[in-house]
Amino acid sequence: MTATPLLYLQSGGPTAVLNASAQGAIEAARRLDLPLYAARDGLAGLVKGELVDTTRATDAEVARLSTLPGASFGVSRHMLPTWEEAPQEWLAVRDVLARHNIHHLLINGGNGSIGCAARLTEFEQHTGYPLRVIGIPKTIDNDLMGTDFSPGFPSAARFLATQMREVAVDMASMAQRRIFIMETMGRHTGWLAAGTAAAAQYVGDAPQVVLVPEMAFDADLFLKKVSQSLDERGHCAIAVAEGLEGPDGKPLAESHHDAVYGHEQLGGVGTWLAGLIKRELDMKSHVAQVDCPQRAARHLASAVDLRMAHQAGSTAVEWIVNTHQGVMTAFSRRPTVTPSWEVVPVPLADIGDRERRMPPEFVDADNLWVTPAFMDYMRPLLSGPAVVPWDEHGLPDCRPIEWANL
């Protein structure tokens, strides 16, 4: 009897370290002498049966995988509907799995994708086809339930905090009064905006103001803090999550809807704040809207994040074959100065498609900043620059890996 192959897929938006999880999964499968296939374009490829065979990749290719940003196997935002909504999709998946004798499915994704994984734990019940499912966490937003941190977040935060610290030095160099606003991703949660606080070496360092959706925006308090920073040090750096909410709980800046993604695409709250400052303080602001680079910046990945991502992938393979199913490889934080964690199984059903907001003990709403407890949480995650394969032109070598179709 030949070994049953595993199927791995990436789903949702890429992160800087998503491919490190793929690498971890592939390497673990090779150690266990199990074939690992992957779906192209995530769940969309699974439904269509577009699979690749990672066993045909060289060890050198697998080693290079974790140096690539993006999703090497492709991703989509396609989420599998419920059995009740679309039984034909479930049956199409069953046919694909049966054709290749696949009974182990690894889904590497964020909220929506882990929600799909949770649904798929009922696969045998609905389709009669035995399937073990496991989730591997991935999100720059750090908003997955059931895990203390998610691979992808530390690297994005390191990218933002590095820029925040460097801009702070630039601002302090200038004799003029200056305001800098950095708009980060974060539709409903402030983890990334808060992560820029790691740039501060001392209390009062940039960012002087951190605005997250977990605190209702108070314009008076905000303008007071900005004025105070201008008076004290001649400049003010502000980090703001795109989804900052007003007292009515609605995002302050909304752009058009995105029917494909099923989420509102926000953006522009940085410019909105600049307008407020212009009207009330008669000061211009510099606004950086960081956008996609924050989730693609593999060149600034944290070594800790890469290690976590790799471990999440390799542990998932070991568990699904030997011990656990229906769980996610979650991270339980050991509160120490050096980064330390345990990978623990958390039932997919307990995670679902809900957003984990910053807990109250991490948010200092009175001071528009983060708490010391958040700094203790955040700092160890950024440790260690990752190795970057610079090409002969001084840019990161991002040549894609060509996976062989199954």
Indicate the DSSP class of residue 72: T
Instruction: Please identify, using beta-carbon distances, which residue of 143 and 305 lies nearer to a second copy.
Output: 305
In whole angstroms, the minimum distance from the beta carbon of 327 to a second copy comes to 26
Closest CA to 298 of 197, 110, 154, 148: 154
The nearer residue to a second copy, 55 or 289, going by C-beta atoms, is: 289
At closest approach, how far in Å is the CB of 32 from a second copy? 27
Least Å from the CB of residue 132 to a second copy: 26
CB of 347 to a second copy, least distance (A): 29
Q: Which is nearer to a second copy, 227 or 289 (CB)?
A: 289
Q: What would you report as the CA-atom Rg of the chain, rounded to the nearest whole angstrom?
A: 22
For a second copy, the closer CB: 350 or 402: 402
Considering the complex, state which of residue 351 and residue 386 has its C-beta at the smaller distance from a second copy: 386
Distance CA 167, CA 182 (A): 10
Q: Which is nearer to a second copy, 76 or 127 (CB)?
A: 76
Return the number of the residue (97 or 304) whose C-beta is nearest a second copy. 304
Q: How far is the CB of 34 from a second copy (least distance, A)?
A: 25
Q: 280-308 b/e with 16+ CB inside 10 Å = b? A: ebeeebebbebeeebbbbbbbbbbbbbbb
CB of 175 to a second copy, least distance (A): 4
Query: What residues are labeled active site?
Result: 141
Rounded to an integer, what distance in angstroms lies between the CA atom of residue 47 and that of residue 78? 10
Burial class (CB in 10 A: 0-12, 13-18, 19+), 396: middle
CB of 4 vs a second copy, minimal distance in Å: 28
Q: Are 10 and 109 in contact (CB under 8 A)?
A: yes
Here the contacts of 274-278 (C-beta below 8 Å, separation 24 or greater) are 274/179, 274/181, 276/219, 276/222, 276/223, 277/179, 277/223, 277/226
- Least separation in angstroms between residue 138's CB and a second copy is 13
CA separation for the pair 120, 118 (Å, rounded): 5
Helix (H) or strand (E) holding 237: strand 235-241
**C-alpha 73: how far from its chain's center?**
17
In 3D space, the residue among 340, 318, 316 whose CA is nearest the CA of residue 330 turns out to be 316
In this complex, which beta carbon is closest to a second copy, that of residue 352 or of residue 396?
Answer: 396
Write out the two tokens for 361: 């003990």
Q: CA 23 to CA 333: how far, in whole Å?
A: 23
* C-alpha torsion sign, points 83, 72, 403, 261: positive
Query: Can you tell me the distance from the alpha carbon of 140 to that of 295, in angstroms, rounded to the nearest whole number?
Result: 6
